[in-house]
Chains A and B, each alone.
Chain A
Amino acid sequence: MSVNPIDLATEQLAPQHEIALPAGRPRGAFRAGAAVFVQNRLAVAGLAVVVLLVLFCFGGPLVYHTNQVDVNLANATLPPGAGHPLGTDETGYDELGRLMVGGRASLTIGFAAALIATLVGTLWGAVSGFFGGLVDAVMMRVVDALLAIPILFLLLYLVTIVRPSVTVMIVVLGLTAWLIPARLVRGESLTLRMREYVQAVRMMGGSSWRSVLRHILPNVAGTVIVNATFQVADAILLIAYLGYLGLGISPPATDWGGMLSKGTNFIFPNYWWLIYPAGILIVLVVVAVNFVGDGLRDAVEVRLRRR
């Protein structure tokens, strides 16, 4: 299972990108960045799609009521028809309602896991890069070692000792995904700590933690945000993959990936309503989030802004 190669490689690129934003000018930077973002039609479209999907999953059940608790085996795997616009699944649940349930799990896990991974990874990377030397070596070797462990094994281990629920999956995915932001942020903060203003703060007697919090973190914000959006997409895909392997959320809870992987059993009998809706929604949300991430990357990239 590969991690988003784009993020892995950006770490190496980091020293070449000069983030010329000194700390302390957040408002101007935000407005300029927002302007660039809005110009990017794909990014705006992506954002709109994400918002629509969130509305569909969280607001949909308020409008479209289905029984997602009681199993109804007599109505299993019905094609779309009266009362069930997208048919029913293997246990008789309405498929459209199921997509809303699954979407809540997918989106929640995606965003929350990305948040945890980003927070933990950023802090780890910032501290490691800022202090440098032995601290950096040890912290980064820990990251290297954890990266070398097959992620499947880590996931299998974690899923075996705790029962998989949405919360557990968030923690599990967050804990396995923080390694990449850590590397990225470390690369950036290595460069940043050499900047004059940071050295000035240290000379003036400012504490290291203050430097990390006030100067390093705001300046890596750009990369971090971009990486976070890709983390969302990766988390949703990883949950789908886990569902395929039988390590995902336990029924009756479900997520789009689990629905898709169960659906792939029915390609031959052509139960298309169990396959394509879930698949299309996964592709849609991942593509949309990637477009948003692209737009954010352009917005924080100073060079492009000047063009």
Chain B
Amino acid sequence: MAGYLLRRVAQALAVVLFVTVIVFILLHQLPGGPARAVLGNRATPLEITQFNQDNGLDRPVPVQYLVYLRHWLTGDFGFSYKLNQPVGALLAQRLPKTLVLNALALVLTIAVAVPVGIYQAVRRNRLFDYVATTLAFICYAAPTFYLGLILVLVFAQKLNVLPPEAPQSDGVVPIFADFRGMILPIVTLALLGIAGFSRYMRSAVLDNLTQDYVRTARSKGCSSSRVLSRHVLRNALIPIATLIGLSLPALFAGALVTESIFNFPGMGLLFWQAAQTSDYPVELGVVLVTAVATVLGNLLADLSYALLDPRVRYA
């Protein structure tokens, strides 16, 4: 196991580096460069040259990458061209908010999707199954920007039971003091996840219900619920574990549309705004965080697989 872990960690590092190299190269291929995008269309050639010099953009691309790498290794993520803040400070400000929103959405997703999926599988092809399936597909098919606006319209405007925007407090702790504003964004995000997770849960439970070991357990006298909770659930949770692991990057990458609609600036908006203003240091910082989260997610999913399924062993 230790050997496997070491190999995977080494591979993960390689992947992260590779990702940063690709993004770095692509960024510098974009026409125009950040100078004009940041300085605007009143910039004089003198100012553009000054900007390029100040930010090391006139050096060859490989040299620039190495400089970046050296800074990253010392914890310096650079300074945002446009936002006038250190990238590290921006990440420290936005990441906790994104984590709170996405983690709570994930918790809600699992809390709803697992029971619904199980019930759908157990009561297969009955009314509940069909209604849940249809709802799931509709939630999956309706784009988030549409769903979110409808939710705000209904709950914040017409029924007036919830605030129209997420809490505007600084930092994460005050969010919990004024939690009502988080309900709509969390639900918007969770609806999409519930749709997918519940479909998958249903399918996984169904697959397990038709397995031989279930028949064996039932014939030995175990009750349905015991079979379900002790044997089927554990196996059916394996794909859910995979899904959670694969959702890890999204936890860090933020949810652009939800953040826009509910006025909750997080990592998604940070990246998007940086991409629109060619703010390289911020883009690279966010990509780094997401890449690390992705490989971490893959690794954790694979490890949890070993935990849940005794047949899986890593040499």
* Chains A and B share a contact (CB less than 8 Å): yes
B-binding residues in A (CB < 8 A):
1-2, 4-6, 8-10, 12-13, 16, 42, 137, 141, 144-150, 152-154, 156-157, 160-161, 233, 237, 240-241, 244-245, 257, 260-261, 264, 267, 275, 279, 282-283, 286-287, 290-291, 303-304, 307
Interface positions, chain B 19-77, Cβ under 8 Å from A, are 19, 22-23, 26-27, 29-31
B271 lies within 8 A of A286 (CB): no
A12 CA / B137 CA spacing, docked (Å): 23
Taken residue by residue from 169 to 181, chain B's Cβ proximity to chain A (1 for < 8 Å, 0 otherwise) reads as: 0000000000000
Contact count A vs B, C-beta below 8 Å: 141
Name A's interface SS.
Answer: helix
23 A-B residue contacts at CB 8 Å?
A5-B193, A6-B200, A9-B200, A9-B240, A9-B243, A12-B242, A12-B301, A145-B15, A145-B19, A147-B294, A153-B275, A157-B26, A241-B257, A244-B145, A261-B143, A261-B145, A267-B149, A279-B142, A282-B143, A286-B137, A286-B140, A290-B140, A290-B141
Question: Within the complex, what minimum Cβ distance (angstroms) separates B265 from chain A?
Answer: 16
Number of interface residues of B (CB under 8 A): 62
Contact A144 B295 (CB under 8 A): yes
Q: Are B149 and A12 in contact (CB under 8 A)?
A: no
Tell whether, in the assembled complex, residue B290 and residue A150 are in contact, meaning their CB atoms are under 8 Å apart.
yes
Stretch of B86-94, B218-226, B246-254 lying at the A interface: B246-254
A281 to chain B, nearest CB (A): 10
The reply to whether B22 and A6 form a contact with Cβ atoms under 8 Å apart is no
Query: Which of B143, B247, B291 is A148 in contact with, Cβ under 8 Å?
Result: B291
Nearest opposing residue in chain A for B14, CB measure: A141
B149 to A264, Cβ gap below 8 A? yes
Cα of A145 to Cα of B18 in the assembled complex, Å? 7
Output the least CB separation between A276 and chain B (Å): 10
Q: Which residues of A contact B192 (CB under 8 A)?
A: 2
Cβ of B256 < 8 Å from any Cβ of A?
yes
CB contacts (< 8 Å) of B30 on chain A: these are 157, 160-161
Which of A147, A148, A237, A244 makes the CB contact (< 8 A) with B141? A237
